[in-house]
Copies of this chain bind each other. A is one copy, B any other.
Amino acid sequence: MSKAKASKKKQPVILITNDDSVNAPGIRALVEAVKGLGKIIVVAPDKPQSGMGHAITIGNPLRLSKVNLFEGVEAYACSGTPVDCVKLAVDKVIHNKPDICLSGINHGANHSINVIYSGTMSAALEAAIESIPSIGFSLLDLSIEADFTAAKKYARQIVEHVLNGKVPDKHLCLNVNIPKGEEKMIKGIRICRQAYAKYEEEFDERKDPHGRRYYWLTGEFVNFDKGKDTDVWALKNNYVSVVPVQFDLTHFALKQKLEKNWKF
């Protein structure tokens, strides 16, 4: 094997997915952001999958279609959820674990409780379950014409950091949110915890032309968390927020209480 070939083999494999679909500007921004850092492979949903959380497709088969959307990058549209994309990419596209999995850049915030509803973050978390270091990126701008300049800069910086061996845990999963606005407004990066902030739901009740009721999910975002170490605080103060995320949902403090007080 030639030296060039050997060194080429060593470049990290970067799996990229998202939940806004393979056609979203955000995933294009992410591909551009990390260009040159490794071999990029894209496997992303063929349609928007926002709010799909950690859903997987059990009752239906999945499809993969090759697409030519990113210059020089192998890319596939998948008929399933973001989590399906990661599973299928590992087993049937890469036939191996990539060195890192990136998800996003999401059009809209995934701070606080959003992490649990977000297809973007669930795809990242799925990779972490499989011991693939992963990072989900979200920009606090829902617009299809959002400016990804700052998001791309910070995404590249954080990905380089992780690829340079700064992985303190094989199940590393980072939830990165980038404030909306110009790059010069951003003050830097903050390691944060997830805020207790959520939507106060109120369904919008309507009647269809046949007189039957239907409901649209809607709601107002409310921050119940006064902490200055949260992602919501950081973003409000123009920092990029980085929350390390875990998939062990055990509530250990509560477990201790129950062991002490619950007698059956």
Interface residues of A (CB under 8 A from B): 48, 50-59, 61-64, 81, 83-84, 87-88, 90-92, 113, 115-117, 122, 125, 129, 157, 161, 166, 168-169, 172-173, 188-189, 191-194, 196, 198, 201-203, 205-206, 212-217, 242-252, 254-255, 257-259, 261-262, 264
Apart from A63-B212, A115-B249: 16 A-B pairs, beta carbons within 8 A? A54-B122, A56-B117, A57-B217, A58-B217, A61-B216, A63-B215, A87-B203, A113-B129, A116-B247, A168-B254, A168-B257, A172-B254, A193-B252, A243-B249, A245-B250, A246-B251
Q: How far is the CA of A217 from the CA of B55 in the complex (A)?
A: 13
- Interface residues of chain A: helix, strand, loop or mixed (majority): mixed
- A113: B residues at CB distance < 8 A: 129, 247
Select A91's contact among B48, B203, B258, beta carbons within 8 Å: B203
Residue of B nearest to A169 (CB): B254
Cβ–Cβ contact A258 & B168, under 8 A: yes
Cβ–Cβ contact B250 & A194, under 8 A: yes
- A58: B residues at CB distance < 8 A: 50-51, 217
- A194: B residues at CB distance < 8 A: 248-250
Cβ–Cβ contact B214 & A63, under 8 A: yes
Supply 24 A–B pairs (Cβ within 8 Å), ascending by A: A48-B59, A51-B55, A53-B56, A56-B117, A57-B217, A61-B216, A62-B203, A84-B217, A88-B215, A91-B201, A92-B215, A113-B129, A115-B249, A161-B262, A166-B261, A168-B257, A191-B259, A191-B262, A192-B255, A243-B249, A244-B254, A244-B255, A245-B249, A245-B251
